């Protein structure tokens, strides 16, 4: 039974990854991949806020490999919640960030930090470095949170400081 469930999980993950690649022709379409049940040893993650180099939560990326800077297509809204940004899966803002390769333990730590799947969900995003997970806000929004029109959390914090 254990072997069969592993095969089914692997099949679901492969199907989800193929779907993500098929959707990547439209840069604003993100794959909705949830709980595949299949754990890979390495994951790529696009970070746009406090996990970026020089930011206060970057220590979570201590064992990660920085693949490079990346700016998404203009498909999002970036909000300033106060202590951290929240990206929404809608809008016309390009997000400025970085892509990292992370191991399974770091990926699990990021899920805990982002309170996945309560406050954030994950979607797969096509990047210059291959498909990468992006955390997107799904919890209730405060109407007082201002939008960061230029999509760059670091620039926003530096200009406010």
pLDDT of residue 161: 78
Confidence at residue 30, expressed as pLDDT on a 0 to 100 scale: 66
pTM: predicted TM-score of the whole model, two decimal places: 0.80
CA 127 to mean position of chain CA atoms: 11
Task: Supply the residues annotated as catalytic.
Answer: 114
CB of 142 closer than 8 Å to CB of 81 = yes
- Lowest-confidence segment of 24-33, 116-125, 130-139 by average pLDDT: 24-33
Predicted confidence at residue 40, as pLDDT, reads 59
The residue-averaged pLDDT of 156-160 equals 95
In the three-class reduction of DSSP (H, G, I as helix; E, B as strand; rest coil), residue 90 is classed as strand
pLDDT mean over 83-90: 97
**Strands (DSSP E) found in 19-150:** 42-47, 65-71, 76-80, 85-93, 96-103, 120-127, 130-137
β-strands 85-93, 130-137: how paired?
unpaired
- The answer to whether the beta carbons of residues 130 and 20 sit under 8 Å apart is no
Residue 37 pLDDT more than 60? no
Q: Which residues contact 31 (CB under 8 A, 6 or more apart)?
A: 16, 19, 20, 23, 123, 124
What pLDDT score was predicted for residue 5?
Answer: 44
Q: What's the pLDDT at 22?
A: 45
Section 7-23 average pLDDT? 41
14-23, 121-130, 146-155, range with the lowest pLDDT: 14-23
Q: For residues 77 and 18, which has the higher predicted lDDT (pLDDT)?
A: 77
């Amino acid at each position: 039974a254990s072997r069969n469930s592993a095969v089914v999980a692997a099949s679901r993950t492969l199907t989800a990854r193929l779907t993500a690649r098929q959707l990547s022709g439209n840069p604003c379409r993100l794959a909705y991949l949830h709980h595949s049940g299949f754990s890979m040893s390495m994951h790529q993650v696009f970070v746009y806020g406090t996990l970026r180099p020089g930011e206060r939560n970057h220590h979570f990326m201590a064992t990660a490999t920085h693949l490079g800077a990346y700016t998404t297509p203009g498909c999002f809204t970036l909000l300033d919640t106060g202590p951290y940004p929240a990206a929404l899966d809608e809008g016309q803002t390009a997000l400025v960030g970085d892509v990292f390769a992370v191991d399974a333990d770091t990926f699990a730590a990021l899920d805990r930090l982002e309170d996945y799947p309560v406050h954030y969900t994950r979607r797969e995003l096509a990047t210059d470095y291959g498909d990468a997970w992006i955390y997107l806000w799904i919890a209730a929004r405060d109407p007082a949170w201002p939008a960061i029109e230029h999509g760059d959390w670091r620039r926003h914090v530096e200009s406010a400081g």
